C-alpha cells in the first residue's frame, strides 16, 4: 500500500468513528444506544461468518460490504468500552499495530527468517517476550466451531510429536472409528453413539489436516452445494406441478442425480 493513501484512510476511519459516536449519543438511534457488549456478541459472529461466505463466493463488492459490516461492530464495541473508560478505537489500532511490529522482527527489526520454521520460531519468541508463552496445545478459543477446534488441536499435537508419520495412520484411525460407530449403532439406544460419532468426526478432521484441507471450509462448501442443488430440485418439481411434499423420493433423487452429473435439470438453477 502506498503511503499516499494513508491520510485518506485515516480520514475515512475518523469520520466513521464519529458516525458511530453520533448514533449512540443524544438524539441518535435508540436501538444503538441500548446495546451492550453482551447483546452484540451474536451479531459479531454472524457478520464474521457472512464475511467468510462472501470470501468463499469471491465477489469483491460483497466482500467489501461484509468487511464494512464487521468493521461497524469493531468500532461499535470500542465505543462502548470508551464510554466505560477502558479504551478507545485508536488504542485498539495502536495495540495491534505494535503487536505486528513486535512479532515480525524479520520485517521491522532486521531479523532473519529464511524458512517457515524460522518464522514460527520468531513468532513464538516474541510471544514469550510478551509473557504469553504458548500452552501445551495452543490457545484455542472455545467459541470457534468444533471442526476448527479439532483441526487446531491436531496441528498443536503434531507440533509436539504426537502424530502419525504418514497419512495412512490417520486413514486407519478413520476405519477403526467407523467400525466402533457401527458397533454402537447395533446396540439399541446406546449412549456410546454420540461419543463414537464424535470420535469419527475428529479422525476425519485429522485426515483433512494431513491433506492441508480446511475441514470447516470443506464442510461449509458442501452445505452450500446441498442448498444449491435442493433449490434446483424444488424449482424443477415446481415446473412439474409438484412440491417436495407431493413428489416421490425416486423423483427427487432422479433430479438430484441429474444435478450431480450436470445434465438438463442443472440449468434450472439459473431460473429465477
Predicted confidence (pLDDT) per residue in 17-40, tens digit: 999 999 999 999 999 999 999 999
Residue 99: CB partners within 8 Å, gap ≥ 6?
Answer: none
pLDDT tops 70 at residue 143: yes
CB 200 within 8 A of CB 174: yes
pLDDT digits (tens, 9 = 90+) for 5-21: 577 888 999 999 999 99
CB 47 within 8 A of CB 73: yes
Q: Which three cell numbers stand for residue 245?
A: 411434499
Q: Shortest CA distance to 32 belongs to which of 21, 43, 24, 41?
A: 24
Cα 10 to the center of its chain, rounded Å: 28
CB 212 within 8 A of CB 155: no
DSSP strands (E only) in 151-201: none
For the chain, how big is the Rg over CA atoms in Å?
25
Give the pLDDT confidence score for residue 125 in this predicted structure: 76
When pLDDT is cut at 50, 70 and 90, the band that residue 135 belongs to is low
When pLDDT is cut at 50, 70 and 90, the band that residue 168 belongs to is very high
DSSP strands (E only) in the chain: none
Q: Shortest CA distance to 119 belongs to which of 106, 130, 132?
A: 106
Q: Which three cell numbers stand for residue 141?
A: 478459543
Q: Shortest CA distance to 170 belongs to which of 208, 132, 198?
A: 208
When pLDDT is cut at 50, 70 and 90, the band that residue 226 belongs to is very high
Kindly state the percentage of the chain with pLDDT values over 70: 92
Mean of per-residue pLDDT scores for the chain: 88
Give the pLDDT confidence score for residue 271 in this predicted structure: 43
Per-residue pLDDT averaged across 116-136, rounded? Answer: 73
Amino acid at each position: 500500500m502506498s503511503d499516499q493513501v494513508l491520510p485518506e484512510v485515516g480520514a475515512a476511519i475518523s469520520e466513521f468513528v464519529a458516525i458511530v459516536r453520533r448514533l449512540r449519543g443524544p438524539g441518535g438511534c435508540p436501538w444503538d444506544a441500548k446495546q451492550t457488549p453482551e447483546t452484540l456478541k451474536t451479531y459479531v459472529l454472524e457478520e464474521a461468518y457472512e464475511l467468510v461466505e462472501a470470501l468463499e463466493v469471491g465477489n469483491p463488492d460483497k466482500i467489501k460490504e461484509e468487511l464494512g459490516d464487521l468493521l461497524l461492530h469493531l468500532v461499535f464495541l470500542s465505543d462502548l468500552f470508551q464510554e466505560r473508560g477502558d479504551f478507545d478505537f485508536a488504542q485498539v489500532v495502536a495495540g495491534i499495530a505494535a503487536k505486528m511490529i513486535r512479532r515480525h522482527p524479520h520485517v521491522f527489526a532486521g531479523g532473519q527468517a529464511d524458512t517457515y520454521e524460522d518464522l514460527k520460531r520468531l513468532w513464538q519468541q516474541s510471544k514469550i517476550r510478551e509473557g504469553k508463552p504458548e500452552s501445551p496445545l495452543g490457545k484455542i478459543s472455545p467459541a470457534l466451531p468444533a471442526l476448527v477446534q479439532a483441526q487446531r488441536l491436531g496441528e498443536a499435537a503434531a507440533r509436539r510429536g504426537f502424530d502419525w508419520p504418514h497419512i495412512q495412520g490417520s486413514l486407519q484411525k478413520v476405519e477403526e472409528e467407523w467400525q466402533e460407530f457401527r458397533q454402537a449403532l447395533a446396540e439399541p439406544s446406546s449412549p456410546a453413539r454420540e461419543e463414537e460419532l464424535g470420535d469419527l468426526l475428529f479422525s476425519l478432521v485429522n485426515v483433512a489436516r494431513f491433506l492441508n484441507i480446511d475441514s470447516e471450509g470443506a464442510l461449509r462448501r458442501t452445505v452450500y452445494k446441498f442448498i444449491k442443488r435442493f433449490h434446483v430440485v424444488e424449482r424443477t418439481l415446481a415446473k412439474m406441478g409438484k412440491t417436495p411434499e407431493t413428489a416421490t423420493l425416486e423423483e427427487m433423487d432422479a433430479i438430484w442425480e441429474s444435478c450431480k452429473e450436470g445434465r438438463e435439470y442443472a440449468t434450472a438453477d439459473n431460473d429465477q
